[in-house]
Amino acid sequence: MVVAAAGVVTLGGAVAAWLKRSRASRPVAPSAQASRTPVAQKPPEAGSTGPGTATVAVDVPEDLDSRFSARRGRLGGALGERLAGFFGRRELGQDAWDELEEALLLADVGAAVTEQIIAEVRARVQGGDESPKEAVRAAILAAIDPDADRSLHVGAPGAGDLAPVLVVGVNGVGKTTTVGKLSRVLVAQGYSVVLGAADTFRAAAADQLETWGAHVGVTTVRSDVEGADPASVAFDATRTAQREGVDVVLIDTAGRLQNKAGLMDQLGKIARVVTKVAPISEALLVLDATTGQNGLAQARVFAEAVPLTGIVLTKMDGTAKGGIVLAVQRVLGVPVKFVGLGEGADDLAPFDAEGFVDGLLGD
Ligand code: GDP
């Protein structure tokens, strides 16, 4: 966790007292069940020091631009290692193409995209002067679609329109962690954020989220009742965010898959109540990259429940199945927007197609 010196900011005593009063007097989500942690909405401006100051420790999240490249090595380069033989070949006979196919399938690229990549590599090595490695790199990049819009559609900071972001996925994939990390991403970009702890089935989830939020000065709306109605918490969080003029409300949801109909009902209800307050800006599916092709079956269920706008692939650090990025984009028709590259607070990075291919190939 980064607690830079500049991150320990101080508020003038009078300002701190005013903030406390003004927050206390705001009309906040009058729900029988929901409560919220009253923490500062935005990290206060640095430099507002003065005599008689109160200290508020707020993390300064790591800048986004360098996050992916700084962690690219964590992708492991397994595909590149498997393809070392292929890259070194002078003649590309059938055994070479089989080798390429096997390596792509083992990386969980999926059958359809593997076929597409092989066809592209064949065309490139036959038609030009590209080496097998250059051809593979270009073919994978083309299959990833480097021009896809991977931005998070949440408007501009301070623009005045609330952007609700639903985060869905199976338990254990890293959903709550991702919501926490995303709050840091948004805070780093100057957005004000409220968190909604609508995973009410797992007692620790709300506490976990609250801790993430507190580190970057973000409010968490939660229920004190275990098993409370997730839609009610989602609604309260969205309404609170709107009343407070916040830019983004990030809503963590429960992801039990035992009963598909129940899950779909619940997510559908959450989406409906949130939409009553503001149209949903993003519905992000969190998938665990280590589950490979199995994750795709889950993905389909969630895609039926809510119209997805993007994918977050977690646990990409140390998996040899990074090719799942290509497969899941193909299956769902929506782009991977972020990847989880570790358990650290800032180990969530915007997806960078070129950097990703370099990481897969170990370059
Ligand atoms: P949820 O049940 O889907 O909300 O899952 P959690 O957010 O509680 O995360 C489950 C576990 O996955 C935790 O131990 C996280 O630290 C871990 N995790 C989440 N994202 C990543 C990642 O990108 N890399 C690694 N290595 N671990 C992760």
Can you tell me the distance from the alpha carbon of 78 to that of 311, in angstroms, rounded to the nearest whole number?
A: 22
Can you tell me the distance from the alpha carbon of 102 to that of 114, in angstroms, rounded to the nearest whole number?
A: 9
Q: DSSP 3-state assignment of 321?
A: coil
Q: Output the CA angle 45-49-51, nearest 5 degrees.
A: 155
Maximal CA-CA distance, the chain: 77
Q: What is the pLDDT of residue 225?
A: 85
Residues 6+ apart with CB under 8 A from 194: 218, 219, 220, 221, 237, 240, 241, 244, 246, 248, 249, 250
DSSP code per residue over 25-51: HS-----SSEEE----SSPPPTT---T
Task: Point out the ligand 1 atom lying closest to the alpha carbon of residue 179.
Answer: 7
pTM of structure: 0.85
- 280 vs 162, 165, 213, 277, CA distance in Å? 9, 6, 21, 9
Can you tell me the distance from the alpha carbon of 15 to that of 233, in angstroms, rounded to the nearest whole number?
A: 31
Q: What is the pLDDT of residue 175?
A: 96
Domain 1-28+61-363 has CATH 3.40.50.300: yes
Q: What is the pLDDT of residue 46?
A: 39
- Binding site membership of 50 for ligand 1 (Cβ less than 6 Å): no
Locate the domains of the chain by residue range: 1-28+61-363
Return the sign of the alpha-carbon dihedral for residues 175, 112, 80, 354.
negative
How far apart are the CA of 349 and the centre of ligand 1, in A? 14
Q: What is the pLDDT of residue 29?
A: 33
Contact (Cβ atoms closer than 8 angstroms) between residue 239 and residue 155: no
Ligand 1, atom 21, residue with closest C-alpha: 315
What are the φ/ψ torsions at residue 319 (nearest 5 degrees)?
Answer: -100, 145
Ligand 1, atom 12, residue with closest C-alpha: 174
Q: What is the pLDDT of residue 262?
A: 86
Q: pLDDT tens for the chain, 363 residues: list them.
A: 222 222 222 233 332 332 232 333 333 333 334 555 444 444 434 333 333 444 456 788 998 889 999 999 999 889 999 999 999 988 899 999 999 999 999 999 999 999 999 999 999 998 878 999 999 999 999 999 999 999 999 999 999 899 999 999 998 999 999 999 999 999 989 999 999 999 998 879 999 999 999 999 999 999 988 889 999 999 999 999 999 999 999 999 988 766 788 888 899 999 999 999 999 999 999 999 998 878 888 899 899 989 999 999 999 998 888 899 999 999 999 999 999 999 999 999 999 999 999 999 988
Task: Point out the ligand 1 atom lying closest to the alpha carbon of residue 208.
Answer: 8
Q: What is the pLDDT of residue 353?
A: 95
Q: What is the pLDDT of residue 257?
A: 63
Q: What is the pLDDT of residue 220?
A: 97
Find tokens 């709550």 and name the residue: 176
Can you tell me the distance from the alpha carbon of 220 to that of 182, in angstroms, rounded to the nearest whole number?
A: 14
Q: DSSP 3-state assignment of 194?
A: strand
- Binding site membership of 288 for ligand 1 (Cβ less than 6 Å): no
